Structures are given as C-alpha cells and as structure tokens.
Amino acid sequence: MSTAADPRGGIRHKIRSAFVLQLLAISIATVLGVLGASAVLQDLLIHRALLDEAAHVQRRLEADPRAPMPDTYNLRGYLLSRPEELARLPARLAALPPGYHDLPADRGGSLALVQDLPQGRLVLEFQQEQVGRLAFYFGFIPLAGVLLVIYLAAWLTYRISRRAVSPVTWLAGEVRRWDPRAPDFTPLAPDSLPLDVDGEVAVLARALHGLGERLGRFVERERSFTRDASHELRTPLTVIRMACDLLQAEGALDARVQRTVARIQAAVRDMEALIEALLILAREDAASAPGETFVVNDVATEEVEKLRPLFAGKGFELDVVHRAFVAVRGSPRALGVMLGNLVRNACQHTEQGHVKLIVEAGRILVEDTGCGIAADELDRVFDPYYRSAASRHEGHGIGLSIVRRLAMRFGWPVRLESEPGRGTRAIIELPDHQPAE
C-alpha cells in the first residue's frame, strides 16, 4: 500500500524512536552488567579465594613445616623464612608490602597476596589471564548472543508495529492532501479503502466519508442560498428604491407623504446594507479570496455621501476627514458595510454636535457627540441583538455584531471608546495598510 511520508513527529517516527531508545537502554544495561560481573569476579571472588588459599597454606605449614607451596598453572606460592630467600622472588613481587595487589600489565598483570605468617612471609601470585578468557567466553560471547536475539525480536516487533499503524498513516496522508476549499472524500469511500485498512481505522474512514458528504451538501446549500438571496432579495429592494425615487421626483407630494417616502428609502438602504453584510459573512470563501487593493478614503467618502441625505435634517454635522490617504488589501464592500454600520449607528444616537469619519495612517475613526455608552456595556454592544440602555433608536441590535464579525474575518480589529453624555469613538485598526498612490 502506498502511503505519504510521515511528518516529523508522526506515529512511525515515534515508534521507531521508542524502539531505538529501548534497544540502546537494553544494550547499555547488559554490557554494564557483564562488566560489573567481571569486576566482581576479579576483585572479590579471586581476592576471597587467595585469602582462603593463604589460610590453607598456613594450616599445612602448622601440620608440616616442610609442606610444599602451591604451584599450579594459575597459582604459585612463595614462603620467605629468611631474608636471603628474597632473591628467589620474581622482581615484580619483590617490593610488594603485605596486602592484596593488582599488578599492572607491564609487571605481569597478575593478582598477588602478601601475608606475614609465623613461618615467614607468604606470597601468593594468581595469573588472572585465564580468568579474563573465561570472563570473555562465559560473559561477552553469551552477551553477544543475547543482544542478537533481542535485536532480532525488536526488529520483528517494529515491523509488526509499523504494519499495524500503516492504515493510520494512510488515513493521515489522505486527510493531509485535502484541499480545505474542496476536499476529496472519494478515497475514504467503503469500496475504495485498501485491503489492509480494517477495524477502527475503517470505521473512522467511513465516518469521515459520511461527514464529508454531509459537509459537501451543506456547502452546496450555502452557495445556492447566497446565490439566490443575492438576486431574489436585491431585486425587490431595487424596485422599491426606484419607485421611491420616482415619487419624490414628481414633486406633487405633500410634506407628510414625502416624509413617509423618505422613511421607506432609509429602510431600503438599511436593508440593502444588512443583506450585503450577511451575504459577505455567509460566503465561506470570502476571506480566502485574493481580494483587491483599494483606497480606504474612497470607501469612507462614498459611505458618508450615501448616509448624508438620510440625516440632513438632524442637528449635527456629518463629515469625513482625510488626515492620511491609505490603501489596504481586502474587500472594499466589507469595509463599506463596516463603516456604514458604524456611521449610521453614530448618527442615530447623536442629536447635536457632529459625527465624523476620520481616516488616519493605520486606522479609521468614527467619532460622535451622542449619548455615549456606559463602561459596563462596552464589552456587550458587539453581542447580537444587544441594545444599550441609553439608546432611543429602535434598531435590530445586529449592526455592531456584523461589524465585529467582518473585522475578525478580514483582520481589521475594531474597538469602542465611550463616555456617557460626551460621545463615542469607534476605532478600526488597519495593520497591513500602505500609503495610497
């Protein structure tokens, strides 16, 4: 079965690392154990054996002062009863004081025990070369066999584990290759699964395939809704707006009817802005679209001019101030909806003074001299359907919620600063702005 390469830190990489560390730990522990056993054999057992051998020689001498000294392949003994007998000792043993000695390799590499007995000085020399060979034959050779068996068992276990996780790796590879905008769930269909994908992985693959098909249907319904709503909702609103324009153009309407037509026009514009915002948010790929680079000042001026006729008779000034000319990359329609909602909200809560839309380098300000918002309500005004206690406008309470959602979608953070009775300032940050050409 063909699988994608594991990413660093994947299941196969972790299993391989675990087996390598396990084998390394076992190997180090086994080697240290054999070396420790060899050291115990040479430094403790042989020392004990030489002490026992010296006690045995002393008993023999007590029974027979002329008893011969040990003289075997590995052990040789010397009894020095007179100073002139010191010449019989090998040079490597002549200067040794009483005690246990491990001679270096250049002096023979033997083990020696020197004791003073009533019969004279006893020197026992043990050739440990044979012990070293025995330690090698009975220690390191079995060690090599044990390690070989351990390595073979670990390799077979690793192969089995790798085969066991292959279906998981295959599933992860298929998911990793998905295009987030158009994932292909076909390889996860029950009749498309590889033969070695079974058990829990097969259940997971079938569940993902079913979820993918359901999500696909959801996305298709969303696209159909936004396409149909864009046409079916805008068309009657356009008809209503054009009819209102024709009525006002006749000039024969009395003041009461003109006010009614103006209210209808304002409601139509509000509805158009709301539909525009909802359609932008409803499109799943709106933020991932390439977008375009546009001048923020143009959008700000256009939104103010749209709203100016609606609030022409109120006792405040509505104006746009350009302190800098900046451009950003994104959706000008989304920024227009944000600015339109903020300016409209400011106008509806201002009775006198001014409402200003100010464009600066790196941010946009919407300032008003309205009723303001209490400090404990600032964090809640962006919630859907929430209306400030000081608000006298009968709105739907979703304008600022739409602004916040658009700000999060396009990376233009928005916040409010307000003081009750003195007005409110809305601030839109533009992190990726650039000077307009």
Phi-psi region of 372 (alpha: psi -120 to 50; beta: other; left: phi over 0): left
**273 in Cβ contact with 340 (< 8 Å):** yes
pLDDT of amino acid 375: 82
Question: What residue segments make up the domains of the chain, in order of their start?
Answer: 1-176, 291-435
* DSSP E strands, 179-305: 292-295
- Is residue 293 helix, strand or coil? strand
Q: CA-CA distance, 25 to 32, in Å (whole number)?
A: 11
> How big is the CA angle at 257 (ends 252 and 261), to the nearest 5 degrees?
105
Contact 308, 318 (CB under 8 A): yes
Model pLDDT, residue 278: 76
Report strand pairing: 315-322 vs 352-360. parallel
Other C-beta atoms lying within 10 Å of the C-beta of residue 253: 14
CA atoms within 13 A on the CB side of 399: 23
All residues at 6 or more sequence positions from 205 whose CB lies less than 8 Å from its CB, including other chains: 171, 188, 190, 193, 197
Q: What would the two tokens of residue 105 be?
A: 């390799």
What are the residue ranges of helices labelled H in 41-79? 46-63
What is the structure's pLDDT at 318?
93
Q: What is the pLDDT of residue 333?
A: 83
User: Which fold would CATH assign to domain 291-435?
Assistant: Heat Shock Protein 90 (3.30.565)
Q: Mind listing the pLDDT tens digit of every residue in the chain (437 residues)?
A: 444 444 555 666 777 777 788 778 887 877 777 676 666 666 667 788 888 888 898 888 888 888 888 888 888 888 888 777 777 788 888 888 998 888 887 787 788 889 988 888 888 888 877 666 666 666 667 777 777 888 888 888 877 777 777 777 777 777 877 776 777 777 777 777 777 677 777 788 888 888 888 887 877 787 777 777 777 777 888 888 888 888 877 777 787 888 788 788 877 877 777 777 777 777 655 444 446 899 999 999 999 988 888 787 788 999 999 999 999 998 888 898 899 889 988 998 898 999 999 999 999 999 999 888 888 888 788 887 666 655 555 555 567 888 888 898 888 999 999 888 889 999 999 998 999 87
Classify 88 as helix, strand or coil.
Answer: helix
Q: Return the structure tokens found at 264.
A: 């209808």
**Strand pairing report for 111-117 and 120-126:** antiparallel
The alpha carbon of residue 397 and the mean position of all alpha carbons in its chain are separated, in whole angstroms, by 38
- DSSP bridge pairs for 121: 80, 116
Q: What is the pLDDT of residue 131?
A: 64
